[in-house]
Amino acid sequence: MTLNSTVIVRDSGFVADDWTLPFATPSNVTPDTQALDLPAEADPDALALDGLCLIRIPFASFADGRGFTLARRLRLRGYQGRLRASGHVIADQYAMARRAGFDEVEISAELAARQPEDQWLARADWRAHDYQARLRG
């Protein structure tokens, strides 16, 4: 793994990226588009979701939560494809990302070196460790 590569984080840990098709932007979507890079400030109600297999939402900073809101809105609109958070998401945010509707997180190899797989796996049981479960518990 080089420092320019990325790592995909799923509930099972670090995995290689299995997506090979190009990502479109909202301004260049065609009927054949299968993957979309969607800015965090995008309006999901203005999107045609049919045919999209993967939507990647960037996080410019770990302090910017707009991507979580966007993921939740996409799921509420009925999007059932893969949702990927990309960029500055930290291990402490993994459970929140999963609860918001993301299927996976794409991080840099540099971040993966600073926050190894075990830190992400500690948050992989995201259904059991939300605040509501603790209140019921």
What range does the domain containing 91 cover? Answer: 6-136
Q: 136: pLDDT confidence band, cut at 50, 70 and 90? A: low
Number of domains in the chain: 1
Q: Which residue has the tokens 């770990």?
A: 62
Q: Across residues 11-15, what is the average pLDDT?
A: 96
Please check whether residue 53 lies inside any domain of the structure: yes
15, β-bridge pairs:
8
pLDDT, position 127: 64
Q: Which residue has the higher pLDDT, 2 or 95?
A: 95
- The pTM of this model reads 0.88
Please check whether residue 1 lies inside any domain of the structure: no
Between CA 110 and CA 11 the distance in angstroms is 20
Return mean pLDDT, the chain: 90
Q: Would the pLDDT of 135 be above 90?
A: no
Q: pLDDT tens-digit profile of 72-88?
A: 999 999 999 999 999 99
Please check whether residue 110 lies inside any domain of the structure: yes
Q: Would the pLDDT of 131 be above 60?
A: no
pLDDT, position 62: 82
Please check whether residue 76 lies inside any domain of the structure: yes
Q: Would the pLDDT of 89 be above 90?
A: yes
Please check whether residue 83 lies inside any domain of the structure: yes
What CATH number does the domain containing 57 carry? 3.40.50
pLDDT, position 134: 54
Residue 84 CB burial class (10 angstroms; 0-12, 13-18, ≥19): buried
Please check whether residue 67 lies inside any domain of the structure: yes
Angle (CA) 97-74-32 rounded to 5° is: 115
Other CB atoms within 10 Å distance of the CB of residue 115: 17
